[in-house]
Amino acid sequence: MSRSRSLFKKPLIAATLLALVTATQGHAAAPLRSPWDAPITARKTQTAFTCPTAPQLPVTLKMADYYTDAAHSIIDPARKKAYDDATRNLRSVQRAVVDMADRYRENGDEAAAACAASFLDSFAAGKALSDGAATNQAVYVQGWMLGSFAVAWLKIRSDTAISSEQRTSITGWLADIASRNIAYYEPRSDKTDGRNNHRYWAGFTAMAAGIAANRKDLFDWGVESFKIGARQIEPDGTLPLEMARRSRALHYHIFAAAPLVTLAEMASVNGVDLYADDGKALSRLVHRVVAGIDDPSFFAEKAGKKQEAMNLHADDIAWAAPFERRFPDPALAALLGKLTSRSVVYLGGLPPN
């Protein structure tokens, strides 16, 4: 090649590269959003709020499940007590953090937001929950804890009093633990918990942490988790793996629907319509659950076992409030109207408004 032709090509290459860089910068991906990003309109509360010292959470989680049969439908009382004892403090801290976050969203209480942030920052500094692989159940608890903490963070992150150092620490910790939780599920696509409600809860956790840390890879893993569930929803609105839980089939359909609805809500504000997936599969599931709460006979017949009695509380249906706003349904509205609280701790407290 002659020198003159080489000189001619260099400016052309440079111009092409500049155009590509400019185009990329001009179309940079928008930051991931959450359903709790709307400005707080409530007047700031004047009630005094005292922030306790953040408790120390364990690095390693050690707990086992409490079922005695292959269908995981019969509870062993002694093992259940051991599990409750092992998780009591975790659940107490979880509730405290999500309540502080909801106090901020509802009342504009910046002291509550600052306290929640101090708790999360302390957990991050201590690498809390980072080793959850002792048992399968420990992995599930790791995910349930992290998901609620991630949503609590999404609820308070608009508070300008939270320092940049805290923001970096908290979001980095959330993303790190979410990645560790995902690592358990990645090789388990052929296992039950790689396809049933546990995968949907892990997807919810990953998406919430991904939004918090602006990590599209975590967000996308949450989307895929939803799709794994949606593909399994049958024409009658049931999930085969949850129906296999026999006397607890209705309970586990409820437990599967909760993270799926929340995943759809978080995806929606980022321009991803999961409600439409697989012929509006999620709607079939929610309507089947609503009908089952009112009359569990369908589940009893299909599961081949009388369903456990239930006393309606927030965990059973509060997660469906955003669904009912999108798709008004008198039966669902009636169930929601019976609740004295709509806070679901595993979902980070109160659902999106």
Q: What is the pLDDT of residues 146-197, one digit of tens each?
A: 999 999 999 999 999 999 999 999 999 999 999 999 999 999 999 999 999 9
C-alpha 280/C-alpha 261 separation (Å) is 12
pLDDT for residue 14 = 37
C-alpha 242/C-alpha 231 separation (Å) is 14
Structure tokens that stand for 61 in this block: 């989680």
| DSSP one-letter code for 60 | B
pTM: 0.90
Residue 47 forms part of a structural domain: no
pLDDT in tens, 125-134: 999 999 867 7
Looking only at Cα atoms, what is the longest distance across the chain?
A: 86
pLDDT for residue 45 = 65
Residue 101 forms part of a structural domain: yes
Residue 46 forms part of a structural domain: no
Asked if pLDDT for residue 251 goes beyond 80, the answer is yes
Residue 30 forms part of a structural domain: no
Per-residue confidence at 313, pLDDT binned at 50, 70, 90? very high
Query: What total of structural domains would you count in the chain?
Result: 1
Angle 257-177-212 from CA coordinates, rounded to 5°: 70
What would the mean pLDDT of 36-44 be, rounded to a whole number?
A: 84
Residue 122 forms part of a structural domain: yes
Query: Mean of the per-residue pLDDT values for the chain?
Result: 91
Residue 17 forms part of a structural domain: no
Per-residue confidence at 69, pLDDT binned at 50, 70, 90? confident
Question: Alpha-carbon dihedral of residues 317, 319, 321, 324, nearest 10 degrees?
Answer: -80
With a pLDDT cut of 90, the percent of the chain lying above it is 85
pLDDT for residue 173 = 98
Asked if pLDDT for residue 5 goes beyond 70, the answer is no
Residue 6 forms part of a structural domain: no
Listed residue (279, 282, 169, 170) closest to 225, CA to CA:
282
Per-residue confidence at 46, pLDDT binned at 50, 70, 90? low
pLDDT for residue 6 = 38
Burial (Cβ within 10 Å: 0-12, 13-18, ≥19) of residue 158: middle
Residue 40 forms part of a structural domain: no
Structure tokens that stand for 77 in this block: 């009382």
> In 157-248, which residue ranges form alpha helices assigned H by DSSP?
164-185, 197-213, 216-230, 240-243
Asked if pLDDT for residue 11 goes beyond 80, the answer is no
**CATH number for the domain including 249?**
1.50.10.100
pLDDT for residue 20 = 37
User: Higher-confidence residue: 107 or 14?
Assistant: 107
The boundaries of the domain holding residue 217 are: 55-347
With a pLDDT cut of 70, the percent of the chain lying above it is 91
What would the mean pLDDT of 209-214 be, rounded to a whole number?
A: 98
Which region among 62-76, 265-279, 280-294 has the lowest average model confidence (pLDDT)?
A: 62-76
pLDDT for residue 15 = 37
Asked if pLDDT for residue 30 goes beyond 70, the answer is yes
Q: Which contiguous run of DSSP H or E holds residue 146?
A: helix 136-156
What would the mean pLDDT of 56-85 be, rounded to a whole number?
A: 92
Structure tokens that stand for 150 in this block: 């991630």
